[in-house]
Structure 1
């Protein structure tokens, strides 16, 4: 993949989790569940592609359905070596790849593949808020903090140091004075797929 010198907003999609709470016997199965004919992960990927200049995906393997779909679209897919140790390792791998592939990046959108109901307009609003104030922008719906979280690209090195299963949570806490909560009218920012009960009834 040649460096993209024009992309400014970069979506980092975390799709390498095991989803043990959904189905402990079939890692990754929850991301393949269909909502209106489209998989959970595919919907999340579509949101980022519609709202960011470019996307990087962390997947469990190159043969995972979301990895194959992303690759077919020309989206760069990474398979983090330590993804089994928690999402922080996947986030670190994606953030570390940003300077090489997107040297002019301005904002990094940290998105979870098990959150399929976020509207692209919401992501664009968060990106604009981050750029306008050079701040970390996090959505809030009815007072509840949600995802995705948008970081200025200057945080790439710090994000590349994330470990464990808390993602960027520690980084958010350490930089609370640079965090801006953005109230949004989008319940998708606080709605994920954790167990089968979180999926809508089959029609």
Structure 2
């Protein structure tokens, strides 16, 4: 079973008081939606959350996911990565990392990256990418990289680990920018909703 680790411990600082992970996507909060696509791919889903109490705990309550509180989440993404990867059992061969703020990713996208582990076994990292090959999410890391992730701190979101993997990073190119299209501000969300409404009309 491939563990899927969802990073949802950030502070949404650029949302000016709102929480981007509680924004509505298809009638449910974004965080719940991300948990749903992960659960469609794996029975082992773990969600890194800020310290309780926090409204995000209500969103995942009742879902078959394991919550990983990150008491020092304010120190940066590297801390969240380190803590959620630390929950993996010894002998786990791979783990998928999924950012919670990418609302256009789909279940087939996750399956495509998962399948790449089998079709490109010489890689150490497999990741979603844009049509022009810019790396994004989701990402799968081989176990040999877990010790490097355990050393992350501050705002290092794993870029140092990716750089160290060198040419052993395999990109799974999607047909648009959804591997990198995160929404960080109210303006981002307004534009996304408007564009989505146009596509549906």
Evaluate the alpha carbon distance shift between residue 134 and residue 53 of structure 1 in structure 2; reply closer, same or farther with a 3 A threshold.
Answer: farther
**SS of the residue aligned with 1:172?**
helix
- For 1:163, the equivalent position in structure 2 comes to 153
TM-score (norm 1): 0.84
How big is the shift at 1:9?
0.7
Partner of 1:190, secondary structure, is: coil
Indicate whether 1:114 and 2:104 are aligned.
Answer: no
Map 1:149-160; keep pairs closer than 5 Å.
149-160=139-150
- How far residue 112 of structure 1 moved from its aligned partner, in angstroms, is 0.9
Structure 1 CA distance for aligned equivalents of residues 105 and 176 of structure 2: 7
* Structure 1 residue 67: Cα displacement: 2.7
C-alpha change, 1:186 and 1:65, in structure 2 (3 Å) is farther
What SS does the corresponding residue of 1:148 show, helix, strand or coil? strand
Alignment of 1:39 onto 2:25 = no
Aligned residues: 190
- Please list every run of 5 or more consecutive structure 2 residues that lacks an aligned counterpart in the other structure: none
Contact 1:61-1:67 within 8 A present in 2 as well: no
TM-score, normalised to structure 2's length? 0.85
Q: Over residues 79-116 of structure 1, what are the superposed CA-to-partner deviations in whole Å (9 max), with x where a residue is unaligned?
A: 112211001100100101111xxx55332111111112
CA distance in structure 1 between the aligned counterparts of 2:57 and 2:152, rounded to whole angstroms: 22
Gaps of 5+ in 1: 1-7
Show the counterpart of 2:54.
64
Regions of 4+ moved over 4 Å? none
Alignment-derived partner of residue 142 in structure 1 = 131
After TM superposition, the structure 1 stretch with the greater mean CA deviation from structure 2, 130-139 or 143-152, is 130-139
Map of 1:3 onto structure 2: none
The 3 A distance-change label for structure 1 pair 79 and 66 is same
